[in-house]
Chains A and B, each alone.
Chain A
Amino acid sequence: MIADFIQYDFLRYTFLTGILIGIIAPLLGTFIVVRRLSLIADSLSHVTLAGIAFGLMMEKLLLITFSPLYSGMAFSVIGSIGIEKLRSVYKNYQELAIPIILSTGVGLSVIFISVANGFNTDLFGYLFGSVSAVSQNDFLLIFSIFIIVVGIITIFYKELFTLSFDEEHATISGIHTKRIHLLFIVLTSLVIAASIRIVGVLLVSALMTLPVAAAMRISKGFKQMMLLSILFGEISVIIGIVSGYYLSIPPGGTIVMIAVTILLLSIGYKRSRKSTNEMREA
């Protein structure tokens, strides 16, 4: 069943990219979920769409070829900084930053798409992911993002964890919370840009949050939750890409449904354990 993925270049790059984002999306997702920032991922993915649409528009208008992933990434990073600025402007209504950035992203996407008079490229692929969309260049960019994200999370793990657990305490103890937070949000935007070819704009936040939601139910401690989330993320991506390919369904859909299945199983597992414990105690 896997044979095609080894034989064909485009499938191989998709598969390898899937393996990489199956690690970094839940890795960053654990911090996003515990900090209650899940919706930020959603708004940044829409900004990334605007960047991709911008790239495709420039490609069409100027007749140059470059990967729209670069412009997607640039927009995503700018959007992440925008969210942080807005959060400091609306100190008491920080969640306002999310719909502002999200709607700006969608608005820009619509404009860029119509200015370019629609695209030859299948926009559907950007919305729900595609198994045949990752070029060698894309893969190299995503691989660099992978190295950067894993490296920075390893180096700043203790600061990120301290900040996530108790921001006030982190500030008092002298950690540069604002800088660490900015670093974190920029990493998030990079991971979103990296994931978008496979899972698509509309489902990228699912890959960052669903495996974490499942792991949270059954893990003890933060590190264990992180490792379990990555395991669940990998299972979802691998089964999702392979089944999506053979069933001719965009992989975003199959990946997310596998993740939802894992989530339901973990909820069921916790419930059944709870009731056996109660029976034992009774």
Chain B
Amino acid sequence: MSEPIVTMNNINFTYENKPILKKVNFEIPKGKFMGLVGPNGGGKTTLIKLILGLLKPDEGEIKLFNTPIEKFQHREKIGFVSQKANSFNAGFPATVFEVVSTGLTAKLGYFKFMKKSHREQVLAAIEMVDMLDYAFENIGNLSGGQQQRVFIARALVNEPELMILDEPTVGVDQGNVKRFYELLDKLNKEQQITMLLVTHDTGIMTEYATDIVCLNRTLHFHGNPEEYSSLSDEDLSLFYGHPVTTIAHEA
């Protein structure tokens, strides 16, 4: 088995005396495209925040790139794309180029200025997501799908080895969702970027993911898309804690 990018051992996490995560054991090997699904309130976002270091587990151990998270120094190896609606002010007067440049801020470090080579890196990341024509447009003038590509570019500019995406397609129109997944698939296969994607949309995700994980307080399922598809509605109800009907997506 290839080197694990993320390892979680026996993670417990409670919030205001409510258990959110219980005994979560979890590993993402290098190169995987992992889809994380589960009901609302099942702890998906908490799990991501733990990996990003925004929260600390009550118990258990988290390792990133085989280093305990407390000692992990290379934050730039992890690219994060959030639900854009949460953290982004749509009227913000910044160009695509300026937004993608912010990805480099932490890596450059304090008291350092952007050089020509950094500007080229930024343009290369914008080109990778096919947004070069819009590089000097204000981000507020773009569609939801285009904005989300810009945020992917912001993560890519650091050449991350792991990308974490939290419901990235919320607010993106259906036609562009497929295009978005194709981009992730390309990055996963061509750039060997390990992906961890949280989504509600299990239909389209199963076409691209190599692994699927169901989380509802604890891990209920971990397997490949074929195994996931062969689960009966009863099994799924067990994971989700309520009855589930699978909705087929048009290809």
Contact = CB atoms under 8 A, between A and B. Distances in A.
B52 to A, nearest CB: 5
B171 interface: no
Nearest to A175: B106
Q: Among the interface residues B53, B97, B98, B154, which one has the most CB atoms of the partner chain A within 10 A?
A: B98
Interface in A103-162: 155-156, 158-159, 161-162
A58 interface: no
A129 B230 CA distance: 76
A67 B189 CA distance: 67
A222 to B, nearest CB: 5
Contact of A172 (B54, B101, B113, B137): B54
Contacts of A216: 93
B129 to A, nearest CB: 17
A4 interface: no
B102 A171 contact: no
Interface string B51-81: 0111000000000000000000001101010
Contacts of B15: none
A60 to B, nearest CB: 45
Interface in A190-211: none
Given A173-B105, A220-B136, A221-B93, A159 B99 contact: no
A173 B87 contact: no
Nearest to A225: B93
A225 to B, nearest CB: 5
B105 A170 contact: yes
A95 interface: no
A281 interface: no
Nearest to B73: A174
A219 interface: yes
A165 B113 CA distance: 18
Contact of B53 (A165, A172, A222): A172
A169 interface: yes
A174 B108 CA distance: 11
Nearest to B103: A173
B82 A161 contact: no
Given A158-B104, A165-B102, A221-B98, 9 more contacts: A156-B110, A161-B98, A161-B105, A166-B87, A168-B87, A169-B82, A173-B75, A175-B105, A223-B98
Contacts of A155: 111
Mostly helix, strand, loop or mixed at chain A's interface? helix
Interface of A: 34, 36, 155-156, 158-159, 161-162, 165-175, 216, 219-223, 225
A150 to B, nearest CB: 15
Interchain residue pairs A-B with the least CB separation, the first 3 = A173-B106, A221-B95, A162-B102
A221 B138 contact: yes
A31 B45 CA distance: 30
A169 B80 CA distance: 8
A166 B100 CA distance: 12
Nearest to B86: A168
Contacts of A221: 93-95, 97-98, 136, 138
A162 B105 CA distance: 7
B93 A222 contact: yes
Contacts of B248: none
A161 B106 CA distance: 12
A169 B75 CA distance: 11
A155 B76 CA distance: 21
Contacts of A172: 52-54, 75, 78, 80
A222 B91 CA distance: 11
B102 A220 contact: no
Contact of B87 (A36, A159, A167): A167
A176 to B, nearest CB: 9
Interface in B201-245: none
7 contacts: A165-B99, A165-B102, A170-B106, A173-B105, A173-B107, A175-B105, A225-B93
Nearest to B111: A155
A267 B244 CA distance: 52
